[in-house]
Structure 1
Amino acid sequence: MRVLFLSTAGIGQVFPLVPLTWAFRAAGHDVLVGTCGESLVTAQAGLLVADIAPGFRMAEFVRSTPIEVGREAARRRDMSFDIGLFAGVNRRLAEGALKLGRAWRPDLVVHEEMAAIGPLVAAAVDVPAVQVSVTFVPAGPLRRDFTRQLADLYAELDVPPARTPPLTLTLTPPSMVEQIEGWPMRFVPYGGGAVQLPWLREPPSRPRVAVTIGTVTPIVEGLGIIRQILTAVADLDAEFVVALGGAAVEDVQPLPDNARAASWIPLDELLPSCAAIIHHGGGGTTMTALAAGVPQLVLPNFADRFINADAVSRRGVGIAADRRDLTADTIPQLLGDSGLRSSAASVAAEIGALPGPADMALRLARHEW
Structure 2
Amino acid sequence: MEIVRVLFVTSPGLGHVFPTISLAHALRAAGHEVLVATAGGKDAANAGLPVVDSAPGVDISAVFEQAASEQPEEFDFSTNIDTEKGLAFIGAIFARVSGISVDVTVSAAESWRPDVVVHSPLQGAGPLVAAKLGVPAVTHGIGFADEAAATEAIFEKMVDERERHGVTALPEVRESIDVAPPSMVDRPVRGWPMRYVPYNGGGVLPEWVLERPARPRVAVTLGTVLTQFGALTSLTKLVDVARNLDAEFVLALGDADPSPLGELPDNVRAAGWVPLSALLPTSSALVHHGGAGSTLTAIAAGVPQLVLPHGADQYLNADVVARRGLGLRSEPDQVDAELINRLLTDTGLSSAASEVAEEIIGLPTPADLVPKITGLV
Match of 2:63?
A: 61
Distance 1:168 1:262 in 2: 36
Deviation at 1:203, TM superposition (A): 1.6
Percent identical residues = 42
How far apart in 2 are the matches of 1:87 and 1:6?
14
Q: Which of 93, 113, 116 is the matching residue for 1:108?
A: 116
User: Does 1:158 find its partner at 2:161?
Assistant: no
User: Structure 1: which amino acid aligns with 2:350?
Assistant: R
Q: Is the 8 A contact 1:102 1:124 kept in 2?
A: no
1:41–1:71 Cα change, 3 Å = closer
Instruction: Report if aligned partners of 1:124, 1:160 keep a CA contact under 8 Å in 2.
Output: no
What residue is the counterpart of 1:47 in the other structure? 49
Distance 2:348 2:173 in 1: 40
The Cα of 1:210 is off from its aligned counterpart by: 0.5
Residue ranges of structure 2 left out of the alignment (5+ in a row)? none
How far apart, in 2, do the equivalents of 1:271 and 1:357 lie? 21
Indicate yes or no: 2:221 matched with 1:219.
no
Partner of 1:81: 89
State the partner residue of 1:335: 344
SS of the aligned residue for 2:219 comes to: strand
Deviation at 1:21, TM superposition (A): 0.4
Deviations 1:70-92 (A, max 9, x none): 14422884332233211110111
- Counterpart CA distance in 1 for 2:143 and 2:91 is 14
1:10 maps onto 2:10 in alignment: no
Aligned partners of 1:50 and 1:213: how far apart in 2? 28
Alpha-carbon displacement from aligned partner over 1:133-172 (angstroms, at most 9, x marks no partner): 1111112222222232224431122224234362110011
State the distance in 2 between where 1:160 and 1:330 align: 52
Query: Take 2:292 and 2:285, find their aligned partners in 1: how far apart are those partners?
Result: 17
- 1:63, 1:220 within 8 Å by CA — same for their partners in 2? no
Partners of 1:259 and 1:332 in 2: how far apart? 16
On the 8 A contact 1:9/1:57 being kept in 2, the answer is: no
Q: Contact 2:178–2:189 (CA<8 Å) still a contact in 1?
A: yes
Once the two structures are superposed, the pairs formed by residues 116-155 of structure 1 within 5 Å of their partners are 116-155=124-163
Cα distance, 1:117 vs structure 2: 1.0
Alignment of 1:11-30 (within 5 A): 11-30=14-33
Paired with 1:24 and 1:75, the residues of 2 have a C-alpha distance of: 32
How many residues were matched structurally?
367
* Paired position in structure 2 for 1:312: 321
- Alignment RMSD, CA only? 1.9
Change in CA separation of 1:70 and 1:165 when aligned onto 2, cut-off 3 Å: farther
1:302-356 CA distance string (max 9 Å, x none):
1111011111111111111122322222101111111110010000011111100
> Secondary structure at 1:79's aligned position in 2?
helix
Task: Give the deviation of 1:105 after TM superposition.
Answer: 0.8
* Residue of structure 1 in register with 2:266 after alignment: 257
1:187 pairs with 196, 203, 220, which one? 196
Question: What TM-score does the superposition give when structure 1 sets the normalisation length?
Answer: 0.94
**1:176 pairs with 172, 184, 202, which one?**
184
CA contact (8 A) 1:20 1:357 kept: yes
Q: What is the rounded CA distance, in whole Å, between the counterparts of 1:222 and 1:300 in structure 2?
A: 11
Identify the residue that residue 302 of structure 2 maps to in structure 1.
293
Q: Report if aligned partners of 1:208, 1:241 keep a CA contact under 8 Å in 2.
A: yes
Change (3 A) 1:235 1:59: farther
The alignment's TM-score, normalised by the length of structure 2, stands at 0.92
**Is the 8 Å Cα contact of residues 182 and 189 (structure 2) preserved in structure 1?**
yes
Separation (CA, whole Å) in 1 of partners of 2:243 and 2:9: 42
Distance of 2:81 and 2:337 partners within structure 1:
24
Q: Does 1:70 align with 2:76?
A: yes
User: C-alpha distance in 1, partners of 2:82/2:174?
Assistant: 28
Match in the other structure for 1:206? 215
